[in-house]
């Protein structure tokens, strides 16, 4: 990895990462977190920060197929990785079925947890298209939501998996 040292002796690294299909090259410090690269450098503010300690899941993105908390991933670790953020979920302005089902099931309130929830759910459905309710709950157990009690979020994920959903 290419590194340069600034006047104060702080090392900076040139990394390259693919976000939502596009490759970006950015200069980061050893302690720069992925979430800050996404939000500050690439202006992808759909990735939220709720705690910056890996506890809330608001900053979830998919990295090489796995959901990760981007606030505890060093930008250096993301070098050469494929990342999907919430901005990359809809394709050409067409919503993903999870985004549709979140709307249908009133699974969004304040919306702050929503990007992370959708990405955790997306990673789940990609590896397990027909999850049980328990598997759904496990998959989003690292994503805290203070508004919905997860009730409608679980329903939305079921709907996106093509499963029947009780009316209330």
Partner 1 sequence: MSENTIHNNDYAVIGKSVPRIDGREKVTGAAKYTGDLKFPNMLYGKILTSPHAHARILSIDTSEAEKLAGVKAVITHKDVPSLKYGISPARWDENIFCIDKVRFVGDKVAAVACIDEETCYKALKLIKVEYEVLPAVLDPLTAMDEGQPLVHEEYERNINTEIHQEFGDMENAFKNAHHIRKDRFVGQRTYQSPIEPHSAISMWQDGKLTIYSSTQSPHYFQYYIAREFGMKMGDVRILKTYVGGGFGGKLEPTGLEFAGAVLAKNTGRPVKMFYDRAEMFAHNRGRHAQYMEITSAVDKDGKILGCHTNFIMDGGAYTSLGIASAYYAGALLPLTYEFDNYKFDMFRVYTNLPACGAQRGHGAPQPKYAFECHLDEIARDLNIDPLEIRIRNARRPNTVTPNDFGINSCEIKSCLERAGAMSGWAEKKGKLPKGRGIGVATGSFVSGAGYPIYRTNLPHASAMIKVHEDGTAATLYTGAVDIGQGSDTVLSQMAAEAMGFVYEQMKIVAADTETTPHDFGAYASRQTLMSGAAVKQAGEEVKRQLLDMAASMLQRPVYDLDVKAGEIFSISDSSVSLSFSDAAREFFVRRGPLVGKGSYTPPKLGGKFKGAAVGTSPAYSFCAQVSEVQIDEETGVIDVLDVWDVHDCGMVINPGLLHGQVHGALFMGLGESIWEQVLFDDKGKIVNANLAEYRLPTALDMPKVHSGLIDSYEPAGPWGVKEVGEGSTNPTMGCFANAIYDAMGVRINSLPLTYEKVWRALKEKREKEQAQK
Closest distance of CB 23 from ligand FES, Å: 24
71 binds, among partner 1, ligand FES, none (CB under 5 to 8 A by kind): ligand FES
52 binding ligand FES? (CB under 6 A): yes
Surface-to-core class of residue 47, CB atoms within 10 Å of its CB (0-12 exposed, 13-18 middle, 19+ buried): buried
109 binding ligand FES? (CB under 6 A): yes
Q: Which residue has the tokens 């009316």?
A: 167
Output 152 or 160, the one with its CB closest to ligand FES: 152
102 binding partner 1? (CB under 8 A): yes
Per DSSP, 78 falls in state G
State in Å, rounded, how far the first CA of the chain is from the last one: 53
70 binding partner 1? (CB under 8 A): no
68 binds, among ligand FES, partner 1, none (CB under 5 to 8 A by kind): none
SS3 157: helix
69 binds, among ligand FES, partner 1, none (CB under 5 to 8 A by kind): ligand FES
21 binding partner 1? (CB under 8 A): no
Question: CA dist 153 to 21, 85, 111, Å?
Answer: 27, 19, 11
CA-CA distance, 82 to 131, in Å (whole number)? 25
Per DSSP, 94 falls in state B
CA-CA distance, 111 to 147, in Å (whole number)? 9
**Residues across the chain:** 168
Among 32, 36, 58, 101, binds ligand FES (CB under 6 A): 58
List residues binding ligand FES (CB under 6 A): 49-52, 54-59, 69, 71, 108-114, 145-148
List residues binding partner 1 (CB under 8 A): 39, 43-53, 55-56, 58, 85-87, 89-90, 95, 99, 102-104, 106, 108-115, 118, 136-138, 140-154, 166-168
């Amino acid at each position: 990895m290419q590194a340069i040292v600034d006047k104060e002796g702080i090392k900076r690294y040139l990394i390259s990462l693919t976000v939502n299909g596009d490759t970006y090259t950015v200069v980061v410090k050893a302690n720069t977190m992925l979430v800050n690269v996404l939000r500050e450098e690439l202006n992808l503010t759909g990735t939220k920060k709720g705690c910056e300690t890996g506890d809330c899941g608001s900053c979830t993105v998919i990295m090489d197929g796995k959901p990760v908390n981007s606030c505890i991933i060093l930008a250096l670790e993301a070098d050469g990785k494929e990342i999907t953020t919430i901005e990359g979920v809809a394709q050409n302005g067409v919503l993903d079925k999870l985004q549709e089902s979140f709307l249908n099931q009133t699974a969004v309130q304040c919306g702050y947890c929503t990007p992370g929830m959708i990405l955790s759910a997306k990673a789940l459905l990609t590896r397990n298209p027909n999850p049980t309710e328990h598997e759904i709950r496990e998959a989003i157990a690292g994503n805290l939501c203070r508004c919905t009690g997860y009730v409608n979020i679980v329903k939305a994920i079921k709907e996106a998996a093509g499963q029947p959903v009780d009316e209330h």
